[in-house]
Amino acid sequence: MKPGYVKGKHYTEYYNEVLDLKKTGKHYMAILLLLQLVDATEAESRADNIGVAPWYYEQLAIVYRKLNDYENEVHILERFSKQSHSPGSATQKLLDRLNKLR
């Protein structure tokens, strides 16, 4: 499968599904999907030499916080911090969040 794809669809096509899972309280299903999407954005980043999409890491951090799973919240933000980033406020927001948690 091409980098950036999950189950035949580009990771960006899962935006509404992620929001629906969160909205309906299906947090564990959201986590499983988001972990696959994070893998996809990282694969695309490596293949195309671009920054990762921060939204997927942010959504994972939000779900982990909602579940009081601070260890995994820190872990996903640390994982994000080790990736190539595109410039923008979302990147800085996530890095600031990680620094506050540490």
The CATH architecture to which 5-101 belongs is: Alpha Horseshoe (1.25)
Collapsing DSSP to helix, strand or coil, 87 comes out as coil
User: Taking Cα atoms as reference points, which of 33, 74, 71, 38 lies closest to residue 54?
Assistant: 38
pLDDT for residue 1 is more than 90:
no
Q: What pLDDT digit, counting tens, does each position of 18-72 carry? A: 999 999 999 999 999 999 999 999 999 999 999 999 999 999 999 999 999 999 9
For 65-99, how does the pLDDT look when each residue is reduced to its tens digit (9 = 90+)? 999 999 999 999 999 999 998 777 788 889 989 98
Please give the single-letter amino acid code of residue 57.
Y
Among 39, 51, 47, which Cα is nearest to 11's?
39
